[in-house]
């Protein structure tokens, strides 16, 4: 039963990552800040590697690597698209901060998903799968921290332009 749950969660994550492969280039294009643009572009490359690790996990579990629609990510991506559209009317720092908020919602969803799947893999004794998922979870945490650092810098800069 736990293996089936794990496979189902991995299929959900596979679909989520597939959606991000399409969304990240749009977020990079919408970014005004060079470091934010670079962060989105770097995370796109990481996401490609994360998909490969998911495929390795499916192979180790002798399971089908068939994506299962991830409604949560669909919603988060839709919010990100709204943020991009609304950002065209905003000051550049505010637009970039809004992109970071949207991206961090995604990162937190992924950290949660990978953390849960990693715990299940450990419980069923699949240490190789748990290791793969842990690598991805660490990348998601690193991406989240980078976004936080960029946001702090943008907020400091935005704060300098606030009228008293």
Q: How far is CA 140 from CA 3, 65, 72, 82, in A?
A: 24, 21, 17, 23
Residue 23 belongs to some domain of the structure: yes
Residue 164 belongs to some domain of the structure: no
Helices (H), the chain: 2-30, 34-60, 71-87, 92-123, 127-159
Residue 16 belongs to some domain of the structure: yes
What does the block give as tokens for 118? 């990693």
Alpha carbon distance 151, 14 (integer Å): 28
Specify whether the CB–CB gap between 131 and 112 falls below 8 A.
no
- Whole-model pTM? 0.91
Residue 80 belongs to some domain of the structure: yes
Residue 87 sits in a domain whose CATH number is 1.20.1260.10
Residue 150 belongs to some domain of the structure: yes
* Each residue's pLDDT expressed in tens, for the chain with a length of 164 residues: 999 999 999 999 999 999 999 999 999 999 999 999 999 999 999 999 999 999 999 999 999 999 999 999 999 999 999 999 999 888 899 999 999 999 999 999 999 999 999 999 999 999 999 999 999 999 999 999 999 999 999 998 776 554 43
Count of domains observed in the chain: 1
């Amino acid at each position: 039963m736990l293996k089936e749950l794990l496979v189902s969660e991995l299929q959900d994550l596979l679909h989520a990552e597939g959606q991000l492969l399409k969304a990240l280039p749009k977020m990079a294009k919408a970014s005004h800040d060079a470091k934010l643009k670079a962060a989105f572009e770097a995370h796109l490359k990481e996401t490609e590697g994360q998909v490969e690790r998911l495929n390795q996990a499916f192979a180790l579990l002798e399971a089908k690597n068939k994506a299962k629609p991830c409604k949560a990510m669909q919603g988060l991506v839709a919010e990100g698209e709204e943020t991009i559209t609304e950002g065209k009317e905003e000051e550049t720092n505010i637009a970039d901060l809004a992109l970071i908020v949207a991206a961090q919602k995604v990162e937190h969803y992924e950290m949660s998903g990978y953390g849960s799947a990693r715990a299940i893999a450990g419980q069923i004794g699949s240490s190789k799968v748990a290791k793969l998922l842990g690598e991805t979870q660490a990348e998601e945490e690193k991406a989240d921290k980078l976004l936080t650092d960029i946001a702090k810098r943008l907020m400091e800069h935005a704060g300098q332009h606030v009228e008293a």
